[in-house]
DNA sequence: CATGAATGAGCATTCATTCAT
DNA sequence: CATGAATGAATGCTCATTCAT
């Protein structure tokens, strides 16, 4: 559930996406171009309305070259989803400090997470809307990322339960972790409404408050 | 088909979807066929992978006739989304009893709502995944339905605050209502994971418990 | 092995090729347009170098319409092959008179057959060259036509053996029928050479002579 | 690779296929790799469905290298066809013994030829199916090989006519040679049917018998 | 000589929508 | 009102060939 500190080493399972080009470095670099182009287009127009021609053009590649690095449009969607999850996780970890108690860790993690959700709003939304277009196999990998991210909160809650700083029934740990994860996403897909009444800071403060009140009263 | 008690009178704003056929009754009847056909297909295959031919066939209509009752495939998607929201709202209202205190009302509403979400899982998911394909105008109407549904919880929370059965800061009322609405949806789009560990009943019991602990400790 | 005399009734097994259009008559008519366009193009350029656009244009149809009558380019190839075999068989039967002895029947059948091969040279060649591009299922149907045609000669040889006008060992009957069938084809695919030295009439006379000498000396 | 006794000296006309590489030995060697790779692929998938990438990979060459030894995919097809004809001819000549009379020579040649056709079935079929894809110029060379092979039988028939062991009208000599050549091919392209009823040995015995009966009764 | 990444014209096929009957 | 044949622009993807290194 925890990732290694060494940069460049993926801490999660990734689907192997074969490419015709052999040079790994080149593949990495070109795929990044492709992903960046695709994220923008998918976000703006959706997966289905985006054409491979548009992606190639936006990535400054010829259609032919695009298909040297990717087997299909669906491969691109998978690459995009995986990239977004990687971004969320890496930013989240970068921001989460090493807090003493589980309670402090939770407060910091939630704030960090909501900030990341705010920042990557469009991207997270993209996964919600387009994950269905993935092949079952690819979707399994993407959903697994979701689980792993949720696991980060689970770990913190467990830590808080252990050090006594959070009161939480064991059976509720997993559920609360999912709640946190989804409430962060809520900020992305209800932003159009919530942002009218709450700033990100207010949103974060209030949600944290609600959460902590839950975590002060449960029978442990 | 209408969710309010008064038959034929919609309690919400609906986008006008023009049809070539003038007979209102006929239009209603045929559109219901179309909607029912489309919901199934969209759910199974997604909006983009479903063809108008399939919808017509499933609705026992000719393609030509389909276009007599609807101007475009997007119209169908709007009709479907609106229909789903109507279904959610009507079922929710049908199940919610007239409880005495706000606290009791909330408990009952949440249970009813989660049950509806469980029942209409696929349909709710559909809105999450395909709302993006609506025209901005149609999307506005659909999002408005979402707000109105959330408003039901807001009303109950306000009632509880008024009768003293729930302790909730005014600024948090709206947010909590959204939380409730989204946590119901969470059961639809994280079901693949949550259902492994929680039954709908456990899920409801735990979420209610968390919610009430929030609502017992806030500074009013 | 023998076909009915009623026109419009196929005496052979045909693969069912589904079409979107329901009107059988229309399907029949349009498919004939398509076949006629395709035969010409396949003959001139080969199956692979012919595009569906070309076929549609040559058949005075839009690409869209083409695909209302056919599911794929391969379907067209099958339709073409079947049509050619039908043409060969119908012409052959039309020309073969009801001769008294098997020997006379054979002479007449061979002459008729070679004449048909001469006439449908390009079409027969087409089957030799493109049958490989058919799906295994379709190919089976096409090969079956080949067998049925060969059967016509087999029948005649058997008749001649029965009435004593032809001397042929039973084990050689099938083989001789195949020889005849293939020597007719030879006129189509070695025409570029044979025609320099033999007219169709000379070719027919000489082959018949060779054949009859075979059929006068075998131990019955 | 050469079929005549003198190594390196081709007994037939070959189209010049230019290569960028000048070292003749290397060119010969690499082309052999290419041909062997291509024969297998063309046989299995057909010319059009085989890609140059596949050929290069199968020949253990890079695509770039492939194009150093060949100018185009069509060049490869020509090389393949020529190679097959060379193989047929060389095997045929290796097996044909120096018989005394023309009649004996014919019997032996036919048996040898049918055995070669049996052995190289797929390859001979390949020429029938793909020769059309050659440029007119290349096709002329390939057809010429066919003529030359046929000439072998013509020579034997003429010898038999001369020594009196075979009775054959002069005008029929060429035709009979073609018949023999094509009936050998028949074993390759009707094998799917013939092999059900005849073994190669039976096929050879019966065809020889038929042939000799032709050659015993003609008016010389 | 060898390599393999880059190219882009080209292809089969789909599908929302229209409109003559 | 109903029908369903017609349309053609648009799409994802392929592949022979080239050429810089």
Q: Average pLDDT, stretch B188-212?
A: 95
Q: D121-130 vs D170-189: helix axis angle to the nearest 10?
A: 100
What residue ranges of chain C are covered by domains with CATH 1.10.10.60?
A: 18-71
Q: Average pLDDT, stretch B26-49?
A: 95
Indicate whether this model's pTM tops 0.85.
yes
Chains A–B, number of C-beta pairs less than 8 Å apart: 95
Q: D27 CA to E1 C1', in Å?
A: 12
For residue range B173-182, list pLDDT tens digits in order: 999 999 999 9
What residue ranges of chain B are covered by domains with CATH 1.10.10.60?
A: 24-78
Contacts of A206 in chain B (CB under 8 A): 171-172, 175
Q: How confident is the model at residue D8 (pLDDT cuts 50, 70, 90)?
A: very low
Contacts of C132 in chain D (CB under 8 A): 46, 129
D24-71 under CATH 2.40.40.20, yes or no = no
Q: How confident is the model at residue B84 (pLDDT cuts 50, 70, 90)?
A: very high
For residue range C154-202, list pLDDT tens digits in order: 999 999 999 989 989 899 999 999 999 999 999 999 999 999 999 999 9
Q: Average pLDDT, stretch C98-122?
A: 92
Interface touch C197/D174, C-beta < 8 Å? yes
Please tell me which residue lies nearest to nucleotide F14, judged from CA to C1'. A64
For residue range B117-165, list pLDDT tens digits in order: 999 999 999 999 999 999 999 999 999 999 999 999 999 999 999 998 9
The CATH code of the domain at B81-217 is 1.10.357.10
What residue ranges of chain A are covered by domains with CATH 1.10.357.10?
A: 77-217
Please tell me if residue B209 touches chain A, with a CB cutoff of 8 Å.
Answer: yes
Q: Average pLDDT, stretch C9-20?
A: 81
What residue ranges of chain D are covered by domains with CATH 1.10.357.10?
A: 80-217
Closest Cβ opposite residue A217 in set B174, B176, B217: B217
For residue range A18-63, list pLDDT tens digits in order: 999 999 999 999 999 999 999 999 999 999 999 999 999 999 999 9
Q: A52 CA to E8 C1', in Å?
A: 14
Closest Cβ opposite residue D46 in set C133, C186, C198: C133
Does the pLDDT of residue B1 top 80, yes or no? no
Which bases of chain F are under 7 A from a protein CB atom?
Answer: 1-20
Q: How confident is the model at residue D215 (pLDDT cuts 50, 70, 90)?
A: low
Please tell me if residue D151 touches chain C, with a CB cutoff of 8 Å.
Answer: no
Contact flag for A and B (3+ C-beta pairs < 8 Å) = yes
Interface touch B216/A217, C-beta < 8 Å? yes
- Please say whether the beta carbons of A161 and A99 come within 8 A: no
Interface touch A192/B48, C-beta < 8 Å? no
d(CA B207, CA B193): 16
d(CA A121, CA A184): 10
Q: A191 CA to E13 C1', in Å?
A: 41
With pLDDT > 90 as the criterion, what percentage of chain C qualifies?
Answer: 80
Does the pLDDT of residue B220 top 90, yes or no? no
Please tell me if residue B182 touches chain A, with a CB cutoff of 8 Å.
Answer: yes
The CATH code of the domain at C18-71 is 1.10.10.60
Contacts of C207 in chain D (CB under 8 A): 175, 179
D80-217 under CATH 2.40.30.10, yes or no = no
- Chain B, nearest residue to A168 by Cα: B210
Q: How confident is the model at residue B215 (pLDDT cuts 50, 70, 90)?
A: low
Q: What is the dihedral of CA B144, B148, B153, B156, to 10 degrees?
A: 150
Interface test with D, best of C43, C140, C206 (most D CBs within 10 A): C206
Closest Cβ opposite residue C178 in set D176, D194, D213: D194
Closest Cβ opposite residue A194 in set B48, B178, B216: B178
CA distance to partner chain B, nearest, from residue A82 (Å) = 18
Contacts of A126 in chain B (CB under 8 A): none
Q: A88 CA to E13 C1', in Å?
A: 39
Point out the least confidently predicted range of A127-141, C42-56, D94-108, D179-193: D94-108
The CATH code of the domain at A77-217 is 1.10.357.10
CA distance to partner chain D, nearest, from residue C7 (Å) = 30
Q: C23 CA to F4 C1', in Å?
A: 10
Q: What is the pLDDT at residue C196?
A: 94
How is domain C73-217 classified at the architecture level of CATH?
Answer: Orthogonal Bundle (1.10)
Please tell me which residue lies nearest to nucleotide E6, judged from CA to C1'. A65
Count how many residues are written for chain D.
220
Q: What is the DSSP string of A24-76?
A: HHHHHHHHHHHHHHHHHHHHHH-TTT--HHHHHHHTT--HHHHHHH-SSHHHH
Does the pLDDT of residue A160 top 70, yes or no? yes
- Please say whether the beta carbons of C94 and C61 come within 8 A: no
B24-78 folds as Arc Repressor Mutant, subunit A (1.10.10)
Interface touch C128/D182, C-beta < 8 Å? no
- Chain B, nearest residue to A191 by Cα: B178
Interface test with A, best of B186, B197, B199, B215 (most A CBs within 10 A): B186
CA–C1' nearest nucleotide, residue C64: F7
CATH classification number, A20-71, choose in 3.40.47.10, 1.10.10.60, 2.60.40.420, 3.40.50.2000? 1.10.10.60
Alpha helices in B46-101 (DSSP H): 52-58, 63-69, 73-95
Q: What is the pLDDT at residue D6?
A: 40
Interface touch B214/A210, C-beta < 8 Å? yes
For residue range D35-91, list pLDDT tens digits in order: 999 999 999 999 999 999 999 999 999 999 999 999 999 999 999 999 999 999 999
Q: What is the DSSP string of chain D?
A: ---SSSTT--SS-------S---HHHHHHHHHHHHHHHHHHHHHH-TTT--HHHHHHHTT--HHHHHHH-SSHHHHHHHHHHHHHHHHHHHHHHH----SSHHHHHHHHHHHHHHHHHHTHHHHHHHHHHGGGS-HHHHHHHHHHHHHHHHHHHHHHHHHHHHTSS---HHHHHHHHHHHHHHHHHHHHSHHHHHHH--HHHHHHHHHHHHHHHHHHS--
Q: C13 CA to F6 C1', in Å?
A: 31
> How buried is residue B4: exposed, middle or buried, by Cβ count under 10 Å (0-12/13-18/19+)?
middle
Summary mean pLDDT of chain A: 90
Please calculate the CA angle A134-A135-A139 and round it to the nearest 5 degrees: 65
Q: C47 CA to F13 C1', in Å?
A: 20
Look at the block and give the residue holding tokens 């990341």: A116
Question: Phi and psi (nearest 5°) for C60?
Answer: 55, 45
Q: Average pLDDT, stretch D166-195?
A: 94
What residue ranges of chain C are covered by domains with CATH 1.10.357.10?
A: 73-217
Q: Is the dihedral of CA A125, A128, A129, A131 positive or negative?
A: positive
Q: How confident is the model at residue C93 (pLDDT cuts 50, 70, 90)?
A: confident
Interface touch C132/D209, C-beta < 8 Å? no
Does the pLDDT of residue D94 top 50, yes or no? yes
Q: Average pLDDT, stretch C21-29?
A: 92
Please tell me if residue D45 touches chain C, with a CB cutoff of 8 Å.
Answer: no
């Amino acid at each position: 559930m925890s990732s290694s500190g060494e940069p460049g080493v993926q801490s999660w399972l990734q689907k192997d996406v074969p490419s015709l080009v052999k040079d790994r470095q080149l593949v990495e670099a070109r795929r990044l171009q492709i992903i960046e182009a695709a994220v923008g287009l998918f976000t703006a127009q959706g997966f289905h309305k985006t054409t491979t021609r548009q992606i190639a053009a936006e990535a400054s590649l010829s259609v032919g070259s695009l298909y040297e690095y990717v087997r299909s449009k669906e491969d691109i969607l998978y690459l995009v989803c995986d990239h977004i999850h990687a971004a969320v996780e890496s930013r989240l970890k970068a921001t989460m400090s090493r807090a003493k108690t589980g309670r402090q860790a939770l407060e910091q993690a939630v704030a960090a997470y909501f900030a990341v959700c705010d920042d990557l709003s469009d991207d997270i939304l993209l996964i919600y809307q387009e994950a269905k277009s993935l092949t079952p196999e690819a979707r399994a990998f993407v959903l697994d990322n979701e689980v792993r991210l949720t696991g980060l909160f689970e770990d913190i809650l467990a830590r808080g339960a252990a050090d006594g700083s959070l009161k939480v029934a064991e059976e509720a740990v997993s559920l609360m972790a999912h709640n946190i994860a989804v409430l962060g996403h809520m900020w992305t897909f209800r932003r159009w409404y919530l942002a009218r009444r709450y700033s990100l800071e207010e949103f974060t403060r209030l949600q944290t408050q609600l959460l902590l009140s839950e975590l002060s009263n449960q029978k442990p």
